[in-house]
Structure 1
Amino acid sequence: MARTLAILSFLMLGAWPVQALESSQGTLQAEEMASGLEAPWAFGFLPSGLVLITEKPGRLLALGPDGALHEIGGLGDIANRGQGGLLDILVPRDFSTSRELLFSYAKPQSGGAGTAVARARLNAAEDRLEDWTVIYEMTPGSSGGRHFGSRLVEAEDGTIFVTMGERGDRPSAQDLARENGSVLRITRTGDIPKDNPFANEAGARSAIWSYGHRNPQGAALDQDGQLWVSEHGAKGGDEINKITKGANYGWPVISYGRHYSGAKIGEGTSKPGMEQPAHYWDPSIAPSGLMIYSGALWPEWRGHVFTGSLKFGFLSRLDPADWSEERIDGPETGRLRDVREGPEGAIWLLSEEQGALYRVTP
């Protein structure tokens, strides 16, 4: 049921109190940009100054420069079940000319739902999507409401990386005949690049770029165009992975965690032919959206990896030189769902717990 949208956010000077977050680079100012959001999942910046926000129940909002929120219509059929719903949004680099947006979401399928990617155009009035088109969807066969993934990243060559969870079906992450538990690489039309690692392998899903993942909830490129992914383990074993073409990341054969029952996972922590994580957490923090910072406002943090903790409610900053971690926390970091760098270098945080979007500056 559609709910009435309250205009609760104002960007004018003094409209909201600015809160302080303490960090190794001094006090950070966290300004609330929007509130009253329902299960927000992702956001993206448009050249016009609008910020688009997805809500998992199946709603797309636009936050204007004047602080007003309005709903954007034209979404397809969204399966809002468990961890699934309307998930990530990608604003391609050519948006100014193409007007195209990409979305990942849980798509109703026979007997259940699967992660899918859709493309649509935003109209000139910026209040409605046109030509919603499903360009790729997970092979049908998954039920339940767990582990949809899913993040979208535009590679330097214009192809699209898509992260997909194993949907709670652990063995499927090792099955190249299914997309479950994989990172995909597709084009903007949903076609398969000819240089994908399994494009010519009989029986394999040719969109797969890497596999053996559990539930990748964050993805980002570093300054060299390298893809990194954060993913949920079980009880322990959350990971940051540097994604390599054709690589197997081991789930559920190897893991640094244990099942929630306490039982051992698979064969241990390593096996020939399976990749090791760049970093892992034990106990689990439930990492969310991933950002690799440019250094625009905090030069000392250039190349550092940021992710939110859904479980403990902090912003994690990781230095890839030694993977040392700083945990920045306050009310604004409660159950962070997405973390992104804004057009001018500010760090933006989307808090599911607060139902709010924040802009962090020095």
Structure 2
Amino acid sequence: MTNGKFVFSFAILAAAACSATPNAPSSAQSINSGNALDPTKTRVPRNSPYDPNLKNVPATTGRANLPLTSPPFAVSTIGKFDEPFAMAFTPRGDLLVTEKAGKLMVRTADGAMGEVTGVPKVAAGGQGGLLDVAVAPDFTRSRTIYLSYAEPGAAGSALALAKGTLDIDDECVASPCPLHGAKLSNAAVIWRSGMNGPGGQFGANILFSPDGKYLFLSSGERQRFSPAQDPKQALGKILRLTLDGKAAPGNPMYDKGGVEAMTWSTGHRNPYGMAFAPDGRLWEEEMGPRGGDELNLIVAGRNYGWPIVSNGDNYSGQPIPDHPSRPDFEAPKLWWNPSISPGGMIYYSGDMFLALKGSLLIAALSGEALIQVRVAGDTATPVAQWRMGGRIRDVAQAADGSIWLLEDEGKLVRLSK
């Protein structure tokens, strides 16, 4: 590894703090009213909205569940973290890993580990905390990275984006190179979701457009259901932003301003993974309720139907109409029931596993699996569901084509030949 000191500048995707409203109403409906909330006086709804006039038309195609098989990889454990959430490689091979409690960790290419100090305070607990990390397209020049996290506020947590500088001192006198210090400074938030309050399901996945000019952010609906269909709320959406966190020109509703100007697609539940195929198509996967996990082909301006339709049911057992019940909504290309609980996702482009080229690799939490889906144009075909023996939270491709997995229980795993 190169001796000396290098500097990263970064953008933090944080969550907004709205001012508290006195005497906040206690009904679940108040969550969708646009007011700030007192999380001690509110609860998320139990079930999705029920429309007795909507007749269920069952989904009969697209189910992607496959039998679990043994993985065709050499599997080695190469690290350990405390409740990690996401990871990203820098161009020189260092690995950045977020831990939900609020730590940003660095694993150097030589295998040394260190913590970055100065990371913003997070609202840790449940599904919240320090979430995604992404390396900017111009990282080699700018040293910019992005973080997403649940930010505490007087009315509860919310999701948000900022810039700062990360200094890492890696003077080496031995191998592996010890980290003498890693510090984050000059952080400045550049995007916030608003709508502070209770609930998990932050989404919070960060992806850059193929031309490197724009940032896509997935924003979950926080277990509140109806915000996913509210155009004025940034919850339950996929957003397309400039690299400075503003609405991106060319968005479907750019001329309307506000949240609508930022929105690329709507009607999402808990979108955890996004990836571009080489043809420019954007693929996204998200957690359904009890069943109904989805792989979607994202088309600008489309509505994906949550919480009105889903190929799963409420956790209480109350049914939700399947996607064919409302053909005006965009249906998933594939869906899983029983649930696999998808985590991170990549499009594999490496040379180590030629059979995986042209495929999406999806991390599965409750499924304890790595899933291969081959995509071609607008079609997706499930290929394999490999038993990994642990809850897989995130997946990444290293420069040599090896596949790295991050387990919920903390293990960092490398898959190779």
Using structure 1 for the length normalisation, give the TM-score. 0.88
Query: 3-state SS of the aligned residue for 2:120?
Result: coil
- Alignment-mate amino acid for residue 137 of structure 1: R
Residue 65 of structure 1 corresponds to 109
- State the shift of 1:63 in Å: 0.7
Query: Residues 117 and 137 of structure 1 are in contact (CA less than 8 Å); yes or no, is this contact kept in structure 2?
Result: yes
**Cα distance between partner residues in 2 of 1:122 and 1:275:** 41
**Cα distance between partner residues in 2 of 1:48 and 1:295:** 17
1:155 aligns with 2:200: no
- State the shift of 1:213 in Å: 0.1
**Cα distance between partner residues in 1 of 2:193 and 2:154:** 12
Residue 159 of structure 2 corresponds to 115
- Alignment-mate amino acid for residue 333 of structure 2: A
**Cα distance between partner residues in 2 of 1:32 and 1:267:** 40
Query: Residues 102 and 120 of structure 1 are in contact (CA less than 8 Å); yes or no, is this contact kept in structure 2?
Result: no
Q: Which whole-Å deviations, capped at 9, do the CAs of 1:45-90 have from their partners, x for residues lacking one?
A: 1133311111011001111233221101121121113101100001
Residue 176 of structure 1 corresponds to 231
Given the alignment, which residue of 317, 339, 347 partners 2:395? 339
Query: 3-state SS of the aligned residue for 1:139?
Result: coil
**Cα distance between partner residues in 2 of 1:229 and 1:140:** 24
5+ residue gaps, structure 1: 1-20
Query: 3-state SS of the aligned residue for 1:112?
Result: coil
Query: Residues 86 and 97 of structure 2 are in contact (CA less than 8 Å); yes or no, is this contact kept in structure 1?
Result: yes
- Alignment-mate amino acid for residue 142 of structure 1: G
1:195 aligns with 2:250: yes
Residue 74 of structure 2 corresponds to 29
Residue 134 of structure 1 corresponds to 189
1:84 aligns with 2:123: no
Residue 325 of structure 1 corresponds to 383
Q: Which whole-Å deviations, capped at 9, do the CAs of 1:168-201 have from their partners, x for residues lacking one?
A: 1101100010011000111111121121111112
CA radius of gyration, larger in = 2
**Cα distance between partner residues in 2 of 1:197 and 1:255:** 24
- Alignment-mate amino acid for residue 398 of structure 2: G
Residue 8 of structure 2 corresponds to none
1:212 aligns with 2:270: no
More moved, 246-255 vs 265-274: 265-274
1:265 aligns with 2:323: no
**Cα distance between partner residues in 2 of 1:94 and 1:156:** 12
1:125 aligns with 2:125: no
5+ residue gaps, structure 2: 1-68, 171-181
Query: 3-state SS of the aligned residue for 1:97?
Result: helix
**Cα distance between partner residues in 2 of 1:193 and 1:167:** 24
- State the shift of 1:118 in Å: 3.2
**Cα distance between partner residues in 2 of 1:183 and 1:116:** 13
Percent sequence identity over aligned pairs? 37
- State the shift of 1:266 in Å: 4.8
Residue 406 of structure 2 corresponds to 350
- By relative contact order (CA 8 Å, sep 6+), the higher-ranking structure is 2
Taking a change above 3 Å as real, the CA distance of residues 330 and 204 of structure 1, as seen in their structure-2 partners, is closer
Q: Which whole-Å deviations, capped at 9, do the CAs of 1:105-159 have from their partners, x for residues lacking one?
A: 1112331111113333322527112222211111224323x11112100112320
**Counterparts of 1:265-304 in structure 2 under 5 Å?**
265-266=320-321, 269-304=324-359
More moved, 108-117 vs 304-313: 108-117
- State the shift of 1:330 in Å: 3.2
More moved, 293-302 vs 195-204: 195-204
Query: Residues 149 and 217 of structure 1 are in contact (CA less than 8 Å); yes or no, is this contact kept in structure 2?
Result: yes
Residue 416 of structure 2 corresponds to 361
- Alignment-mate amino acid for residue 386 of structure 2: I
Q: Which whole-Å deviations, capped at 9, do the CAs of 1:25-48 have from their partners, x for residues lacking one?
A: xx411222211x111011111133
Query: Residues 347 and 360 of structure 1 are in contact (CA less than 8 Å); yes or no, is this contact kept in structure 2?
Result: yes
Residue 98 of structure 2 corresponds to 54
Query: Residues 223 and 294 of structure 1 are in contact (CA less than 8 Å); yes or no, is this contact kept in structure 2?
Result: no
Given the alignment, which residue of 279, 282, 302 partners 1:224? 279
**Cα distance between partner residues in 2 of 1:61 and 1:78:** 15
Query: Residues 106 and 116 of structure 1 are in contact (CA less than 8 Å); yes or no, is this contact kept in structure 2?
Result: yes
1:242 aligns with 2:267: no
Using structure 2 for the length normalisation, give the TM-score. 0.76
Q: How many residues align?
A: 334
**Counterparts of 1:7-46 in structure 2 under 5 Å?**
22-23=70-71, 27-35=72-80, 37-46=81-90
- State the shift of 1:347 in Å: 0.8
**Cα distance between partner residues in 1 of 2:152 and 2:343:** 24
**Cα distance between partner residues in 2 of 1:330 and 1:227:** 27
Query: Residues 323 and 331 of structure 2 are in contact (CA less than 8 Å); yes or no, is this contact kept in structure 1?
Result: no
More moved, 253-262 vs 291-300: 291-300
Residue 7 of structure 1 corresponds to none
